[in-house]
Every structure is written in structure tokens, then in C-alpha cells.
Structure 1
Amino acid sequence: MTQELGLHRPALSVRRMWCIRLGWLAVVLAALLYCGVRLHDGTALQTNLLSLLPDTAADPVAEKAVDTLATSLGDRAVFLLSSSNADHAKAAAMQFGSQLKRSKAFRTVIAQLPPFDTAQITRFYLPYRFSLLSAADRATLDDTSTALPTLLAQRLYVPVEAGLSAPLADDPFGWLSHWLAGLPLAATRLELEDNLLITRRGDTTSVLVTGTLAASAYDGQTQADVRTAVAQAEQSLARTFPDVTLVRTGAVFYAAAARSASEQELHRIGIISTLGIALLMLWVFRSPRFLLLGFLSTAIGIVFALAATMLVFGKLHLLTLVFGASLIGEAVDYSIQYFVGHLGAQGQDARRTAREVRPALLVALATSLLGYAILVGVPFPALRQIACFAIAGIGAAFLSVASLLPALLTNAPRQPYRTYDCAARWLGRWQAALTRRGAWVCLALIAAAAVPGWLRLTSDDDIHLLIQRDPDLARQEAFVREAIGVENSTQFFVVKGDSAEQVLQRAETLQHKLELPIAGASLKGVQSVAQFVPSAHQQAEDRARLSKRVSADPQALRATLTDAGFRPEIAAKYVAAVEAAPGSPLTVDAWLAMPWSQPYRHLWLGQVSSAGAPPMFAAIVIPTGVTTAQLPALAALADATPGIRFVDKPASVARLFATYRVDSGWWLAGALSLILMLFCLRYGVAAGVRVTLPVVCAVGITFAVYGYAGIPLNLFHWLALMLVLGVGANYAVFLREGCARQRADIGGVWVGVLLSASTTLLSFGLLGTSAMPVLRSFGMTLALGIVIAVALAPLGMPIVRHRPS
């Protein structure tokens, strides 16, 4: 019976190993298939920089307003062709627009405007003319000392010469013409000439060309098509009109630049870190087999990280991919520690080695997961994605090392190398130096020297820490906006109400307040839907005002008109129009139905709803020409007015940065307490404190270095310290656990720790060279913290004697 069991045991073991291999193969293939399907068409990749920003307001209506403004011009590309020769600029614009029209990148391209009858705007408002009065006309009509003949004479002898106006027969007093003149239709420096929109600055003439994209600006294929179409048109332009310069702006160009920069960094960091890690592993283990197995577990981790992130978030931001390229150095740590333990065991079964190193890997995994789990609670989509990516990646890498590698590493391992003896002797001397009484005095002096550095720490919560736009595109955008006179305002009001009428009334009240001086200065203007569609209450008041002064005596009105020279039939027609004026007011829906309202439709949000709240109506009011000094007054104005909220996205993001930067100090202290508790439970109080001490020193010294260097801290430095806490604590754990294993070669364990630290430094350190401020902050902090943590890791070791090989 015993013999039969002995015969069956190897067969069961082989069968079990094959089940593990085939099971992992099936799971990995499924993850690969999912990633391939999602990434094939490029729609899963997110290049929208604004998607990195968090929701900064508890009010979902305000966030919808932010999204509406962000997307109102998101599908457009704007070009400005300039030359000192006006004819060349115009001809170049026609040629450039014609070439863009032939490409498949744009749905529509407008260089030369189609004939537009501005009288259609007047015709739209004409039926409501007796309900539309300007503020000046209201004041004049309320002044009973001003007679109607006088008002009529002002219209006849001082006619409206510019802008929109109504025919004299339909608007003899000029009230509708005065109201039309107040519409914000000409808020730019653009002029219509030869059916082209032009602007002049000095002797330079610039012509505007706009294009509407065929698809989303954040679609990879659309970006490629636009880039190709514009490049071809620009090359043709350079041959035909070498004196014409072209500048551009639009979300598609920013998205394409972000994609290109991210892909370059992804390739650079991924290739350099992979090659560097491969060379280090070959130098230490001298075996391509270990290299391939190590990268196998890492590749599994990356595949699972990609699949989990796209499954949870739907989209994968390129920022996450760049960070993921640096995750290779951390994910490979588990296989390195397993290989070191296996080589040091001298012929031990691979599965037994896995069981022996599993406690150290579990503790290291727990500390790493804790560091990344902190990021999940931060309301930044980018950091949540990074946290999800990292947690899934290192979790899958750990599982593959714990279960898959023992099934693949079945042959007897090579003997440990003599270099382990040298490493063990070096470690012994370094540990002895660190544990001498003088060393503790040195640590105390370092702590004292760090205090002035801590006191010099400053902070910076600028939004550009999260988003950094391409500088050349930003310069071109500034040129376009300055040339055509359009501001890039990120401050606006959201007006809410239970009905459309209440929103319009509140918008009118706000507009009147904004027309007064704000913080001692006047605004350049205001854009509001109430300028195009007054509230029904205001229309009724204006209609009543005219009825009182004009239509109360139809005979007198007719006589006034005929006395002024109007033909009797014209006078009779106007009187009849006054008496038959419609009682129903002009509505927002009627205005929205007009094609010429399209450039201003973003001002009306309409009916909006949010979870747990009844539906409401909302609109946007945009003040123009706002100075920094006026922002507090505008915010106070909104706070004092019911149903109105002032939205300043950059300021709100900065405030959120500051809030979470302060909170992150408590998170760091809490995470440190949890790690200390975990280590004390595992190793005892005294040993737990010693194992925790290296990473505590790493955090403290990093703070001091930033203080002395004058580098202001931001939220991402603090969050990177969370990862220093999670990753840096692993090195002391590996050493402590290595000393606890009976058959472990402590020299090999130290080589493994140094190798793990080197691979992590190689990958995360490259983030310090990133052009993305977020990743640069992470990389610099992680590199500095890890160097200090690994250097002080022997503090957590018990005093041991080296066992020669």
C-alpha cells in the first residue's frame, strides 16, 4: 500500500504542476485577448488632459457646466493665416481651407463664409419687439416728462448706423434696434471682408479658418488624420505662399501632443528599464532561464494590470501606461527574492523554497498594497487609475511567483556564487557599523540637522502640477486668442432654478450686478442667455411699460407718426401691430431652434438632474475681462445670491490640492502606524521598531532634502512618500525574513535586496526625468526615498554570524 502511494505521489505532483501551468495559461490568454480587443482600435486610450482633473465641486450641475464649456469647442480646430500682404493671406486661407475639405479628418471646414442674411435675426425678434427694451429705453419711458414725439425725433434724426437694426417702418422709435445693438454678437476683433473673417494688427492681416472634426478629438485615428491633413496643407502653403505663417489651436492638437509625448516616454522608460533590469539579473544570476522566468511573472502582472484597469475604468490614460512601464522594477522584486532563496537553498525543491519565502513576500506585498491603496481614496482619476494598475499588477506578479514559478523551476538549481560570501562580509561590516553606539549618535545628529530643512519646507498647489500643456501649442493658442480677441476664461457663474423662468430671472439679476464696478473696476462684458432671451417677467414688464405710454391712446400714436412724416398706411400698420402684439413671451426653446444661436448654445444647460435630487434648470453666465483682484469679489457675489455658484476650476483644483496635501500628512502617519503594527505583530515590538526605522528615516531625510533644496512640496510628493513607505519597507523585511530562514544564504539575500532596489530605482528613477509633473514628482521622491531605505535596511536585522558557503 505504501509503495502504491509512493508511486502515485509523483504522478499526482506532475499532474498538479500541469494543472497550474494550464490554468495560468488560460487566465493569461483570456487577459491578453481582452487587452488586445480593447486596445486594437485605440478607443480605450484616453488622451484628454482634462480627464485627469477631479470633480472639485459637490454640485454636479457645476461639474456639468465645466464639461459643457470644455466640450463646446472640443471638436473644432482653429487656424490663423497671417501675412503683411492682405491678398496673400486671403488667398492662402482659401487654398488651405480647400485642401482641408478634401481630407477625411474634418466634417466641415469654413474659410469663406456662405452668404448670411443678418436680417433673419431681426425677423426672429420682430414679433416680440413690444416686449424687448434696453435698460436705457426703460429709463426713458419711465420718465413721463419725455414725450413720444421727442423719442420719435431721436430715432429719425439720430438713426442706428451700425450693427443690427429693424426697418424704420417696423421700429419707428428704435426700441428693437436699441435692444438688438446690445446682443453680444460682436465680442471679437474679427471683421467680415470678402466673406472672410479677418483681423489686423499693425501691418499684418490674419484670416481665420475653422474646421469641425469628423470624430472625437481624443480618438487616435482622428488625431493621425488631422496631423496628416494639416501637414500636407501646410507643405503646399509653404510652396505657394512662403510669406504666410500658420498658427493653430484646438483640443485635437493638445491631445495628439500628449499622446506623442506619453508614447515617447513609455518607450524610453520601458526599453531602458527592461534592458537595465535584464543586464542586472544576468549579471547576478548568470542564467537566461532565471531572466525569462522573472520577466514572465512581470509580464503577467502587466497584462493583468492593463486588463483590470480597462475593466474598472473603461479607459486607459497614457499617464497610467507611462507609470506602468516603471512598475516593471517593482513587480520583478518578487521573482528576484524567490530566485535568491532558491539558489541559496542548494538543491532544495522549488515548491519548498516558495513556501519558505512566501512569508517575506506576503509582508512585502501587504506594505506595497497599503501604499497604493492610499491613492484609491484620492479623488484624482489619474491617481486612482495608477493605484488600480499597480495593485492588480503587483498582485498578479506575486501570485505568479508563488504558484507558477515553482511549477516551472523543476530542475535542481545551480550552486550559489562565491560573490555571495563577499556580499555577506560587506553586509556584516555595514550592519556592525550601523548598530554601533556611534552610529546611533550619527542618526540623532542627522535628525537634528533635518529639522531646519523641515522648517524651510514650502508648498505649491498649482493646477499645472497635474497638467502641463505643450509650450509651443500654448504659445500658438495665446497668439490666436490675442489676435481675434477671445479670452480663455475658466471662471464663470452657474445659475440654477426650479424652472427656466426662474433661471432667466436670476441671470438677469446677476447681469445687472456684473454691469456695476467689481472690486473698483468694470468688466469688459458679460455673456448670458438672458441677453438673447429675457425672462417672461421682464418681457411682461416691458410690454406693460409700452402699453402705458404707447398703446393707451392709439389715435394719438397714429397722429404722432403721421405728424413726423410717416405715410398713413405705415402709421396704421404700426398701430395695428402694437394692438395685436402677442401675449406669449419669447422662449429659450424658440431661440435654440435658430441656426445662428449655435455659437451661444453652451450658455444654456437646460434641464439637468443628479442622483438623489429633483431635476432643475441651469444656465451659464460668463464674465469677460476678469482680473485676479476681482475673483474674490465675484465669488462673494455668488455666495450672497441664491441659486448662483461661481466656478473657478483652477482655483478649486488648487484648493483641493492643498486640502489633500494637508490630509496626506495624516494618511502618511496612519499608514506608518499600520506598518509598525504589522511589523510588531510579526517580529515583536523591539524588532518591529528596528525594521520600521529605515523607512521612517527615508521619509524624514527626503523632507529635509526638499527643504534645503528649496523644492516646494505638492500633493504628489506626499503621495509618492506613501509609496516610499510601502516599497522601501520591503528591503528591511527581506533581510529580516532572510535571517529567519534556516538554509538561507544571508549574502544571497543581501544581493537580492540590492538587486531589487536597483531594479526599482532604475524604473521609478526614470520617472524623475518625465516631462509630466505628476510622474516627475513621483520619480524624484521615490528614487531618493528608496536609496535611503535600502542603505539603512540592515538596521532591522538581528545580529547574525555569516555562514560561509
Structure 2
Amino acid sequence: MRNKLINIFRIVFILILVTLGLLVFFRPAHTETNILKAIFSSTQDNLLVDLSSRFSAKVNVIVESDDPQKAENTSKMFYAQIDKNKMQTSDVNITGILEDLEKYHNNLLSNKTRKLLMNKQFDKVIENSYETLYNPVMPPIGSIDDDPFLLLTDFVMNLSGNTQMPTNFSPIQYNDKYYSLIKLDVSSDLALSPTVLNTEIEKLVNLQKNLSKDDVKVYLTGAPIHSYFASSHSIFEINLICILSTLFVIALIFLYFGSLMPLVPIALSIGVGIFSGYCVTALIFKDIHILTFVFSTTLIGVCVDYSLHYFVTLKEEKDGNVAISKIFKSLTVSLITTVSAFLILLFANFILLKQISVFTITGLITVYGIVVLFYPIMKDAKMFGCKGGQSLSVKIWQSMQVLKTKFNIANKINSKHLRFCASTVFVIFLFLVIFNVHFDDNIKNMYTPPKNLLNAEKLFTEIMGSNGDTSIFVVKGDNLEDILQKEEQIADKLGDTEYQSLSKYVPSQKRQKSNQYLIKELYKKNLNDFAIFLPPAKRVQLLNQNMSDKFLTVNKDFEFMKNNFLIDKNTSMMLVSDYSGKNIDGVKIINFQKDISSQIRHCRRVCLELLIPIFGLLYILLAKIYDKKSGLIILLPSICSVIFVFGMLVIFGCPINLFHLLAIFLIIGFGLDYSVFRFTNPEKSGDSVFLSCITTVFSFVLLAFAGFKLISSLGTVLALGLLSSYIFSLKLIKKDIIKGKNEI
């Protein structure tokens, strides 16, 4: 009857996996690579994420030369070799724009000149006109006969922080060098395919190398460039780490079991666990973030414990059914406690934690089911090299006893003094964590770009005249005219703060009509005295010209600006430099660095707040399964390892960030696994826990040497945390030592 019931469970288990696979096959989930979508989950944050994606899908090419013609020709050669279906630049008709501006020059005033005219500071306007006339960089635009005060030239000069209006290909002068710019927009399809995008960026990098010669330098900037260099460097390191880790695991399994056969069911169980985790997560969430795979598949490494626990027990018992009966309680308790800990993550308003929770819980349950239901079928211990004999932990324990006797360690070290010293160190660590811990939520500090990319970004901002921190003002209106008027009202409040907006290039009709009045008043008061170089008849004509009812509009020549500044037909954005003022009514102010860092801070606090509920729930479960004292003993190694990791970070002056805390959840999962196995089945678990620990720690130690700061810090924290969890479980769970002297 029991065997029949188990067979039914096996069939149901397989049917569930097949059903999940079919459902996901017909409705696959999209893999999300935008890190912001891992931490921003509410609909109100969608605008920030969308704008960030919009700005990050741009590549800037800067060609530097002593010769303006050479700079322009090189930039055109560069653009000619780009796949226009994947990256292209907006065709800016500068001639058409200038013709439009000249046609409506009586409607246009720079903000600076407009304020002077409104304040009746005509002398200052005249002084500025002379400066504009003799400006060596910008020649007068339009006819001086029709615009004697050069107000149009002043308007154009004030459109950008750089007085030369940087545009695609046209060379501009900066610091005795000439620069030609290309602003490339990455196609939406390409932006959603990181691998393909990196292939295209590699082509740009090769072009950069080929064209950087003969007194010409080519620089590349933009988020895709940073992603390419970061991922290219990391991929090699990760591949190397995977190879070394795999070889280490293979060698260790062969050394212990005398066979590589246990690797087959271990790899199969983990593979099925990852598959089921993906399927369930894909059915619940429309998009699965790539960080979910990183953290969840790492935690499913806990499942190696389940398999190793079985094969180590099989090595001694020689029968699969007997082996599974011996470890069933420890496997079940480990599953219940780990799943319970990750269930709490579902209550966090943090999409990444929810996905990690679902993925991990599903994977753990699946691997548990495989070990309990299917491993007993593999009854032949000899097939897996499980031939019995002295265990690895016995050999190590005996070696330690020999060393202890040889060097008379027992007489030299007083156990009471040792416990006192250990307790003192632990208290010191606790105080360090409580009183000296500090956090770093700044998104910039999580990535340090190469020096050449930093220099290129600095050069680009200087050329564009946009140094400093940039905020985005999101402006909503009933129509385009309403949007332009609201932008102008905001610009008036900004004072001398640099900004870019659509209304700066194409003022509202209301503003254009007001400008006509101000210009007419300037002419009336000062034209005859200032424009003595004009014939009297021309001066009379200018004084008597009527107010026009025709206005500059966002026509096809300004289409590229419309695309750059309009989010939709009722929403626009203004780019404001170094804004530190108060909030403006009716305007949503977005600062990528500050807002993202603020959200990371919020997520980090959520993770910290979840630690106590997780430990509390785990203690309640363990106290119910065992007793209050045993529950505390099992939980204590994980608590100590978390405090130890925090203490080490404080000692070495490393601020704690969000990803350190995500690593803490992995440490809790692994550490609790070690403790439950050692406490529940002390006679049989020594080798399996030791093998699991050493293989996992080895992988994370290698990860600690990665060049990418974020990855290396995660590797360091996880290696320290898992090793300390294992050591604390050795010292704090005395039941192992009492019941079986074969434990290390």
C-alpha cells in the first residue's frame, strides 16, 4: 500500500512538472535586464524607469582633431559604417531651423534679454548687443538690417550652455580642439536584447580603434558602452570561475565517493529545480528579472545538501529506502524552515524579493520531492561509488586529535578562557554592528567605470555645456500650447539655472506675442540712437512695423526636438542642471541618481526590517518541531554568522549596501540548512554538510576575486557568511560531538 501511494505521488509530481512546462512554453516570460525594474515596482515609478531606459538607450560618439574638416569627415565615416536599422541619429536640418528662426525673429527673445526688457534695462541690452556683434565664436545670424540689436543671434547663443549649439557632424571648437559629435539612438528591439546590443557595441569599439589615428581621437560614451565593457570583463571571469568550481566539485565527489556517478542525479535534480522555479515564476510574473536568476539559482545550491545527505547516508546504509528514512526528518525540517523564511519576502513591496521568494521556494520543494520520491529507486550503492568505509569527517577528526595530542593543545589552552575570549569577541562584533555600521545607498558607488570612460563622459558633458547634476521636470498640459506656457512659467522661476526644454526653442504663442511687444518698445526707445548705421527709411520701417499674428510652430524642422522633449502628447520634460530648490506645484521632479539611491535606501531598509521577522518565524517553527532550547541552538549559528559578517564589514570600513543584505538571505538559507542537518541527524550529516560547505565556499571565494566591484563584494560576504555558519554550527551544536565523535 505504501509503495502504491509513493508511485501515485511520483506520477502526480511528473504530471505537475509537464503541465508547468507546457504552460510556460505557450506563454514564456520576458527576461528583464533593467536593474531599475528590480527595485521599482509600483505604477507611479514607471515614469522614472521609462525615462531612465530612454536616456540609457543612447550612444554618443565624439571625434577630436586639430583640423575641423578632419573631425567632420571622420565622424561621417564612422556613421557610414553603422547598421542604421539598429542605431541611427536624428537628421537635424540646421539650415531649415535657422531659416524658421530668422523668419520669426521678431517673436524670439532669450530669457536673459526678455528679463532686461521687462525691467526697462535698455542700456544693458545695448551693451549685450555690442558684445554679440564682436563675438569671435558666433557670427551674426540673419540680417542686421532687420535685427539691428542682434536679438536673434543672442537667442540662438542662449539655447545651449555651449554657445556653438553642438549638432551631429558639424565641428565645434573647445579648448583649442575641434569636436564632431554623433548622437545615436539605439532601436527599441536592440535595447531589449543585451547580447545582440553588446555585439553591436563591439563593432563600434572596433570602429573607434580603427579611426583613432593621424591626430584623430574617437571617444564613446553612454550607458550601452559602460554595459559592454562591464559585461565583457565579467563574462570571462564568471566563465573561469564556473570552470574552476565545476572541476573542484568533480574532484571532491570523485575523491569522496570514488565515482562520478553521483554527479548525474545531483545535476539533474538541480536542473529540474531551476526549471520548475522558472515555470512558476513565469506564470505569476509577466517579466522575470535577471537578478532573480542570479540569487535564486545560487540558493538552490542548498539543494546539493539534500542530494549529498542522501548519498552519504546511502554509503553507510547500502539501501535507498533505509537511507531516505534515516534523513527524512532532517530534509523535511530543513525544507519547512527555509521555505518559511522566504515566504516572508512575499510581503515586501519589492518585486525582486517577491520573485526570489517564488523561484526559490518552488525550486527547493521540487528538489526535495525528487530526493524523497525518486532517489530511493537508485538502491544500488555500489553504482554510485558508495562502498562504505571510513568517512571523510572521521579522517579529519582523527587528524585533529593527532595534532591535538602531538602539540599538547589541550594543556596549553584553557577551555574556559577560550570560551571567554570567544564570547568577548562576539560582544565586540555586536557593538561594532550596532554603533559603527554605516550604509551606502548611492547607485554611483556600486559601479566604478574605467578611467578612459570617465574621461570620455567628462569631455562630453563639457562640450555639451551640461556639467553638473541634471533633474527632469515632468510637465503636463491639455495641449502643446498649454505645455509650452507651463514650461515658460517654470523657467521664469528657475532664474539663471541652466535648463533645456522644447519651449526654449519654440516659445508658446502667448510668449511670442509678448516678445513682439517688448521688441517694439525697445525699438521705440532706442532704435534711432543705437542703429545710426541704418538708413533713416529703414529705421522708420522698423518702428512702424505691425505686430504679427503669425508664430513659430513645432513644424517638421523641429520634429527631432519634439521627439526628445515630449513624452506623450500631454507630457513634456525639462532638463534642469544643478537644481536644489523646492518642489514646484504641478511638476514632478525626477533626479535619476537621487531617486534611484532613495529607492535603494528604501529597499535596503525593507530587507533589514525583514531580518527580525524571519528569525522570529524560524524560531517559532523550530521550537514547535523540537523544543524552545533546541530551536534557539539550531538558529544561533545563522544569527552569529550574520553578526560576524556585519562586524567584518565594519572593521574593514566597508559600507553595507542593498546587495550585501540580499546575500544575507542566502547565508541564512545555507546556514540554517547546515544547522538542521547537524542537529537532527548528527551521526550521518557530518560529511554531507562538510562537502556542501566546502564546495559552496570555494565558489564564492573565487567570486571574491572578480574585477567587478559588486560581484566581488557579494563573493566575499557569501564566503565569509557560509564559512562562519559552518564553524558556528560546529561549535554551538554540541549534540553532534556528544552523539558521534566522528564529527568535525
Q: Into which bin does the TM-score normalised by the smaller protein fall?
A: 0.7 to 0.9
Post-superposition shift, 1:218? 4.5
Counterpart position of 1:619: 572
Counterpart position of 1:71: 54
2:381 and 2:387 in contact (8 A); partners too: no
Post-superposition shift, 1:684? 0.5
Q: 1:687 to 1:720 in 2, by over 3 A?
A: same
- 1:422 paired with 2:411, answer no
Counterpart position of 2:712: 776
Given candidates 245, 249, 265, the residue that maps to 1:293 is 265
- Provide the rounded CA distance (Å) in 1 between the counterparts of 2:452 and 2:679: 52
Given candidates 721, 728, 731, the residue that maps to 1:792 is 728
Given candidates 75, 86, 97, the residue that maps to 1:93 is 75
Given candidates 109, 119, 122, the residue that maps to 2:101 is 122
Report the residue type matching 2:444 in the other structure. Answer: H
Post-superposition shift, 1:674? 1.3
Given candidates 158, 170, 188, the residue that maps to 1:197 is 170
Post-superposition shift, 1:681? 0.9
Counterpart position of 2:40: 54
Q: For each residue in 1:548-591, what CA deviation from the matched residue of structure 2 results, as whole angstroms up to 9, or x when unmatched?
A: 9999xxxxxxxxxx9930399x679x75x53x736xx77xxx42
Post-superposition shift, 1:316? 5.4
Q: Could you say what secondary structure the match of 1:492 adopts?
A: strand
Counterpart position of 1:367: 337
Counterpart position of 2:200: 226
- 1:581 paired with 2:549, answer yes
The gaps in structure 1 that reach 5 residues or longer are 39-43, 517-522, 552-561, 608-616, 740-745
Q: For each residue in 1:345-397, what CA deviation from the matched residue of structure 2 results, as whole angstroms up to 9, or x when unmatched?
A: x244x245435423322322233334545555556655555555434433332
Post-superposition shift, 1:669? 1.7
1:82 and 1:205 in contact (8 A); partners too: yes
- 1:450-529 aligned at under 5 Å gives the runs 450-454=429-433, 455-469=435-449, 471-487=451-467, 489-496=469-476, 503-516=483-496, 523=497, 525-529=498-502
Q: After superposing the two structures, state which structure 1 stretch, 206-215 or 786-795, moved more.
A: 206-215
Q: 1:228 to 1:131 in 2, by over 3 A?
A: closer
Report the residue type matching 1:473 in the other structure. Answer: L
Post-superposition shift, 1:738? 0.7
- Provide the rounded CA distance (Å) in 2 between the counterparts of 1:113 and 1:546: 29
Q: Could you say what secondary structure the match of 1:117 adopts?
A: helix
- Provide the rounded CA distance (Å) in 2 between the counterparts of 1:160 and 1:118: 24
**TM-score, with structure 1 as normaliser:** 0.75
Q: 1:533 to 1:234 in 2, by over 3 A?
A: closer
Q: 1:173 to 1:274 in 2, by over 3 A?
A: same
Post-superposition shift, 1:754? 0.8
Counterpart position of 1:612: none
Q: 1:107 to 1:116 in 2, by over 3 A?
A: farther
- Provide the rounded CA distance (Å) in 2 between the counterparts of 1:654 and 1:407: 52
The gaps in structure 2 that reach 5 residues or longer are 405-409, 525-533
Q: 1:314 to 1:496 in 2, by over 3 A?
A: same
- Provide the rounded CA distance (Å) in 1 between the counterparts of 2:79 and 2:589: 39
Q: After superposing the two structures, state which structure 1 stretch, 351-360 or 710-719, moved more.
A: 351-360
1:330 and 1:760 in contact (8 A); partners too: no
Given candidates 181, 196, 200, the residue that maps to 1:208 is 181
- 1:531 paired with 2:509, answer no
Counterpart position of 2:152: 177
- 1:643-792 aligned at under 5 Å gives the runs 643-739=586-682, 746=683, 748-792=684-728
1:734 and 1:749 in contact (8 A); partners too: yes
Report the residue type matching 2:459 in the other structure. Answer: F
Q: Could you say what secondary structure the match of 2:96 adopts?
A: coil
Report the residue type matching 2:585 in the other structure. Answer: P
* RMSD between superposed Cα atoms in Å: 4.8
Report the residue type matching 1:605 in the other structure. Answer: I
2:88 and 2:185 in contact (8 A); partners too: yes
Q: For each residue in 1:316-351, what CA deviation from the matched residue of structure 2 results, as whole angstroms up to 9, or x when unmatched?
A: 55555554664463231111112223333x244x24
Q: For each residue in 1:26-48, what CA deviation from the matched residue of structure 2 results, as whole angstroms up to 9, or x when unmatched?
A: 4697599689x88xxxxx55554
Report the residue type matching 1:649 in the other structure. Answer: F
Q: Could you say what secondary structure the match of 2:735 adopts?
A: coil
1:720 and 1:777 in contact (8 A); partners too: no
- Provide the rounded CA distance (Å) in 1 between the counterparts of 2:418 and 2:132: 93
Counterpart position of 2:276: 304
Q: Could you say what secondary structure the match of 2:190 adopts?
A: coil
Post-superposition shift, 1:142? 7.8
- Provide the rounded CA distance (Å) in 1 between the counterparts of 2:227 and 2:277: 24
Report the residue type matching 1:459 in the other structure. Answer: F
Counterpart position of 1:743: none
Report the residue type matching 1:511 in the other structure. Answer: A
- Provide the rounded CA distance (Å) in 2 between the counterparts of 1:462 and 1:680: 40
- Provide the rounded CA distance (Å) in 1 between the counterparts of 2:483 and 2:506: 11
Report the residue type matching 1:67 in the other structure. Answer: D
Counterpart position of 1:554: none
- Provide the rounded CA distance (Å) in 1 between the counterparts of 2:66 and 2:567: 42
- Provide the rounded CA distance (Å) in 2 between the counterparts of 1:386 and 1:469: 28
Identity across matched positions, percent = 21
Aligned residues: 720
Report the residue type matching 2:178 in the other structure. Answer: T
1:48 and 1:218 in contact (8 A); partners too: no
Post-superposition shift, 1:122? 2.2
Post-superposition shift, 1:528? 2.7
Report the residue type matching 1:457 in the other structure. Answer: V
Q: 1:451 to 1:224 in 2, by over 3 A?
A: closer
Q: For each residue in 1:497-526, what CA deviation from the matched residue of structure 2 results, as whole angstroms up to 9, or x when unmatched?
A: 66666654443333222215xxxxxx4x22
Counterpart position of 1:519: none
- 1:603 paired with 2:565, answer yes
2:65 and 2:178 in contact (8 A); partners too: yes
Given candidates 238, 242, 250, the residue that maps to 1:278 is 250
- 1:397 paired with 2:367, answer yes
Q: 1:312 to 1:255 in 2, by over 3 A?
A: farther
Q: Could you say what secondary structure the match of 1:495 adopts?
A: strand
- Provide the rounded CA distance (Å) in 2 between the counterparts of 1:526 and 1:96: 30
1:81 and 1:244 in contact (8 A); partners too: yes
Report the residue type matching 2:370 in the other structure. Answer: S
